[in-house]
Amino acid sequence: MAIHRVTFLPLNVTVTVDDEKYPLADHGRPGSLLDIALAQDVPLEHNCGGSCACTTCHVIVRAGEASLSEMEPDEEDRLDMAEGLTIHSRLACQAVVKGDVVVEIP
């Protein structure tokens, strides 16, 4: 069992999650930032339902990038279409939390 803290900016909402309880909300990959946000009532757009088919759940990782799953080619290809793309951008539906992380919802 591992407990992680996820902070969503600019809302300044920090939630604590137990990775043994993934999935939480059944959207995106189990334990993804989107899964966690929806389970904790953090508003995060997700037009495609978390299937890596759009970029509405785009977030920018401000801290703890190494605490997220590796980016896979499908996510990398889709991110190229995200508005406001940065080198720290991820799709919340694909980035699985493995430690403490801080993300900004643009």
Give 6-25 pLDDT, tens digit per residue. Answer: 999 999 999 999 888 776 77
Determine the number of helices (DSSP H) and then strands (DSSP E) in the chain.
Answer: 2, 5
Number of domains in the chain: 1
Q: Are 94 and 72 in contact (CB under 8 A)?
A: yes
pLDDT at site 24: 73
pLDDT at site 1: 67
Residue 34: how many CA atoms within 13 Å on its side-chain side? 24
pLDDT at site 23: 67
Which domain does 12 fall in, by range? 3-104
Q: Are 66 and 96 in contact (CB under 8 A)?
A: no
C-beta neighbour count of 98 within 10 angstroms: 15
pLDDT along the chain (106 residues), means of 10: 93 92 78 93 92 95 98 94 95 96 97
The CATH number linked to 17 is 3.10.20.30
pLDDT at site 59: 98
